[in-house]
């Protein structure tokens, strides 16, 4: 359903009134909360929510024949960070996804652990804000599986993804820095990587081994993103480890990247190292919920 269809549908539901709508709906007649819903008018809202949260809110999935020949890599395509380079050199055998913050049981998953969990495969279209799209087939573990193993605390509201790639340094340590070139949306990655070529001489934010040479004193700003719990538990929200049936290439976010199919490209965090569950986004980055959000992009990037 497109947004427009969805809006029309909601308008129709409103016009009919919840009860009329329910009376004509076989699917809900026998459900446990059907009778209660018929009594309580306000529960029509729940009905509409459930309906929208079922099939109607799934992003379109495509047949394999429509998979793009090349899935265009964008943003960081080869993280300059030393800790990441070491992981890549080990073919990510030492990779651990850390899950912490407002959870009952902090977790740490290697790639084999993640592959042993239930998986989901989906062929979807990625839409970048720059105006291009690609269709790819992603396989991974539903984020819900990972979060359920950790168990959310009652205050949990958002899920934050901390990535391995440094884009710039705090305080404008790089030419351009925060107040210069990096304000340009989607700054060409080739140029950006020349500028951050020295990244990674730091004890790093996602728990990798501290680097051996401590000369680098600047604080790296790494990519990060965040979503709310509705999106976190959406069935198409997965941590993908395969693209088109093969392990994710470095350029597309190896070893693990988020797929969140109802939002734009910049929400699809690549190189995910650590997941942090929080109550508020205020103290993450500059407080807007993502690297690009801190630079003016919308936090909710619905398609
Ligand atoms: N860690 C990280 N994730 C990222 C980015 C990035 O630069 N670093 N770029 C974002 C943008 S703008 C897009 S369009 C997609 C690109 O994903 P792709 O390289 O698989 O095409 O990743 C998103 N996730
Ligand atoms: Mo993008």
User: Would you say the CB of residue 75 lies under 6 angstroms from ligand 1?
Assistant: yes
Establish whether residue 281 lines the binding site of ligand 1, counting it when its CB lies within 6 angstroms of any ligand atom. no
**Whether residue 297 has its Cβ less than 6 Å from ligand 1:** no
Cα of 118 vs centre of ligand 1, distance in Å, is 25
Report the residue among 268, 269, 274, 298 best suited for mutation to probe ligand 1: largest number of ligand atoms under 8 A from its CB: 268
Q: Is 67 in the pocket of ligand 1 (CB under 6 A)?
A: no
Element housing 116 (H / E): helix 111-116
Mutate to test the pocket of ligand 1, among 79, 165, 253, 258 (most ligand atoms within 8 A of CB): 253
CA 195/CA 186 separation, integer angstroms: 15
Provide the Cα torsion 225, 302, 235, 48; round to 10°.
140
Per-residue CA distances from 18 to 7, 14, 46, 56, 96 (Å):
16, 7, 10, 18, 48
How far away, in angstroms, is 85 Cα from ligand 1 center? Answer: 18
- Most confident range (mean pLDDT) of 36-45, 51-60, 138-147 is 138-147
Span between the terminal Cα atoms of the chain, in Å: 11
pLDDT greater at residue 160 or residue 185: 160
Q: Is 268 in the pocket of ligand 1 (CB under 6 A)?
A: yes
Average pLDDT score, the chain: 80
CA distances from 212 to 16, 74, 79, 215, 222 (A): 68, 30, 18, 9, 20
Distance from residue 259's CA to the centre of ligand 1 (Å): 11
Does the 64-295 domain belong in CATH 3.90.420.10? yes
Residue nearest to atom 11 of ligand 1 (CA): 266
Q: In what order do the strands lie in the sheet with 158-169?
A: 107-109, 97-101, 272-278, 158-169, 220-228
In the predicted model, is pLDDT for residue 184 greater than 60?
Answer: no
Ligand with the closest atom to the CA of 75: 1
Q: What is the three-class DSSP state of 160?
A: strand
Output the pLDDT for position 178.
38
**Ligand with an atom nearest the CA of residue 77:** 1
Q: Is the pLDDT score of 55 beyond 60?
A: no
Instruction: Please give the share of the chain, as a percent, with pLDDT higher than 70.
Output: 67
Q: Is the CB of 271 under 6 A from ligand 1?
A: yes
Query: Would the CB of 223 count as within 6 Å of ligand 1?
Result: yes
What does the domain layout of the chain look like in residue ranges? 3-57, 64-295
Task: Tell how strand 120-127 and strand 246-247 pair up.
Answer: unpaired
Q: Kindly report the pTM of this predicted structure.
A: 0.76
DSSP 8-state class, residue 33: T
What confidence tens digit (pLDDT) does each residue in 127-178 have? 999 999 999 999 999 999 999 999 999 999 999 999 999 999 998 654 433 3
Q: Is the CB of 73 under 6 A from ligand 1?
A: yes
């Amino acid at each position: 359903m497109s947004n427009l269809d969805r809006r029309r549908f909601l308008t129709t539901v409103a016009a009919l009134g919840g009860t009329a709508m329910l009376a004509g709906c076989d699917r809900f007649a026998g459900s446990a909360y059907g009778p209660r819903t018929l009594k309580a008018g306000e529960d029509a809202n729940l009905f509409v929510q459930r309906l929208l949260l079922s099939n109607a809110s799934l992003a379109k999935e495509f047949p394999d024949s429509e998979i793009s020949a090349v899935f265009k890599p964008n943003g960081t395509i080869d993280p300059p960070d030393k800790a990441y380079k070491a992981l890549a050199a080990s073919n990510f055998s030492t990779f651990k996804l850390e899950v912490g913050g407002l959870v009952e049981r902090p977790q740490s998953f290697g790639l084999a652990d993640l592959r042993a969990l239930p998986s989901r495969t989906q062929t979807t279209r990625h839409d970048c804000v720059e105006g291009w799209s690609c269709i790819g087939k992603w396989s991974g573990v539903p984020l819900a599986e990972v979060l359920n193993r950790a168990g959310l605390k009652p205050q949990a509201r958002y899920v934050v993804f901390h990535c391995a790639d440094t884009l710039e340094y705090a305080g404008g340590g790089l030419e351009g820095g925060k107040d210069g070139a990096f304000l340009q949306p989607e700054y060409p990655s080739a140029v950006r990587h020349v500028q951050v070529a020295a990244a990674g001489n730091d004890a790093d934010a996602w728990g990798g081994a501290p680097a051996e040479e401590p000369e680098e004193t600047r604080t790296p700003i790494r990519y990060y993103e965040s979503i709310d719990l509705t999106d976190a538990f959406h069935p198409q929200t997965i941590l993908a480890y395969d693209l088109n049936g093969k392990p994710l290439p470095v350029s597309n976010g190896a070893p693990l990247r988020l797929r969140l199919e109802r939002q734009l490209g910049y929400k699809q965090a690549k190189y995910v190292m650590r997941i942090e569950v929080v109550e508020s986004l205020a103290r993450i980055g500059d407080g807007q919920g993502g690297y690009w959000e801190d630079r003016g992009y919308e936090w909710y990037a619905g398609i």
